[in-house]
Amino acid sequence: MTTFADLGLSQKVLSAVTDAGYTTPTPIQAGAIPFALQRRDICGIAQTGTGKTASFVLPMLSLLEQGRARARMPRTLILEPTRELAAQVAENFEKYGKNHRLNVALLIGGVSFEDQDRKLERGADVLICTPGRLLDHCERGKLLMSGVEILVIDEADRMLDMGFIPDIERIAKLIPFTRQTLFFSATMPPEIQKLADRFLQNPERIEVAKPSSTAKTVTQRFVASHGKDYEKRAVLRDLIRAQTELKNAIIFCNRKKDVSDLFRSLQRHGFSVGALHGDMDQRSRTAMLHNFKEGNLQLLVASDVAARGLDIPDVSHVFNFDVPIHAEDYVHRIGRTGRAGRSGAAFTIVTRHDQKYADVIEKLIGEKIEWSAGDLSSLPAPEQSHDEERSRRKGRDRGKDRERGKPRAVHKSDNDVEDNDVQPKQGSKGIESVKHERKQDNRQQNGARGARPYPANDDNRERRRHRDHDDGPTPVGFGDDIPAFMLIVANAKV
């Protein structure tokens, strides 16, 4: 059996790994670390929760034992898609680099530039950052990237989803071409493969599991529900209460608004719950994650900001309140449980609208997911809510209104005359005569009530109705209506 001592790591790193309680490397670590120590480019593909972070942290610590960084010239650069992932990598360097005297700088949003500038001035052996904040410092003239020896692009597929690829391309142009590049991702769609081919030079491909596979230690289930949010919330509460072995759980939503709404709902029902999404300030996000890791909160409602790479070792359950639109996100979400060989459970609430996304997920992971308590066809007929009943009645009333708009028989007095009732007879007035008399009567009645009478001359009204129509010849210049001032003869002086 391969041990960390067989991988070629330095004695300082091996001592720190032993103190952390690890003896046997994971497959991705055993495959990537030897090539990283040889300064080869690496394309690492492994499902989430398999130790990808340590597979580049440990060899970097060994390689950085020689030399020191100069002010504002970092020696290595690690790019992460989210603040939480960047902070987590910094924690790994603190844990495994305790026997080293390396300066680690963390550049993320939500932290003042002044504090980060002071760290850069001391020299950063390891620079961990999100792409946007790094470019901000470069544009301020606070960083020189010409000394970077190792570039790490972590969670590359998430970088693609979040639109960071143009930023990474700009950053790559600032770094020496002779750098070593370590490229890691849990999934490898064609777009990511093209990106890897662009950044890597003759890479060593380490693939320890088929792309987009899920851990075998995670029990996966679909749960059928009607589409209304309050119905899904009721299904979720029943699911949570039914789990006898639930220690803690992460509940994923697709939108930030749904995170806030679900958090308030669970709080009202007496659950120990917190919320995490991208609109929260960095201090609140850090405090929320800390409370969840320490066991002060049992449930954490989160957006996909918590789906990628967050190392919370002992999460027993994952609940997908919303089916992820991108099937790759499903792999990352359920990867928050069942980590490091532990068992876990993942439940996904599926409505009829979500069926197509569920089918894509099964196709991606290459296996059928069982339904808990019956699939969508077993759902009872949805109860009609008061709002739906009111909408149905309103639609029925609109239909009646349309029927009322049809010609219908009316009760007529002796003075009323209907066009349909007028039959031209010999010696009697025709239809046009009757219409004309009725219009005259209406004018007199409107004038008596103070209403504006119709114009006496119907020709004016007819002319006004057709005033925009011009069937005559197109006039030249002003036509016949020449203004009088243009007819004045001017006295020209010679």
CATH architecture of 4-207: 3-Layer(aba) Sandwich (3.40)
User: Tens-of-pLDDT digits for all 494 residues of the chain?
Assistant: 789 999 999 999 999 999 988 889 989 999 999 999 999 999 998 876 678 899 999 999 999 998 888 889 999 999 998 888 898 899 999 999 999 989 999 999 888 899 899 999 989 999 999 999 999 999 999 899 999 999 999 988 888 878 888 999 999 999 999 999 999 987 788 888 888 888 899 999 998 866 566 778 899 999 999 989 999 999 999 999 999 889 999 999 999 899 999 999 999 999 999 998 878 887 888 889 889 988 999 999 998 876 665 667 789 999 999 999 888 889 888 888 887 678 899 999 999 999 999 999 999 888 899 998 888 888 876 655 445 555 555 665 555 555 555 554 444 444 443 334 344 444 444 545 545 555 555 555 555 444 444 444 555 555 554 444 444 555 556 556 677 777 777 665 54
**218-378 placed in CATH 3.50.50.60:** no
- Predicted confidence at residue 357, as pLDDT, reads 94
Give residue 149's pLDDT: 95
CATH topology match: 4-207 vs 218-378: yes
What type of residue sits at position 251? I
pLDDT (0 to 100) of residue 52: 87
Q: At what angle do helices 229-242 and 256-268 cross, to 10 degrees?
A: 60
Give me the residue spans of the domains in the chain.
Answer: 4-207, 218-378
Determine the pLDDT at residue 40. Answer: 95
Spatial separation of the C-alpha atoms in residues 92 and 154, rounded to whole Å: 14
335 Cβ contact list (under 8 Å, min separation 6): 47, 48, 49, 186, 214, 215, 218, 307
Extract the tokens encoding 95: 């844990």
Query: What is the per-residue pLDDT for 285?
Result: 83
- The pLDDT assigned to 429 comes to 47
The structure's pTM equals 0.62
The angle at the Cα of 158, spanning 157 to 161, to the nearest 5 degrees, equals 90
Cα-based angle 55, 247, 270 (whole degrees, multiple of 5): 130
What is the pLDDT at residue 44?
Answer: 92
Beta bridge partner(s), residue 185: 45
* C-alpha radius of gyration, the chain, whole number: 37
Give the model's pLDDT for residue 490.
66
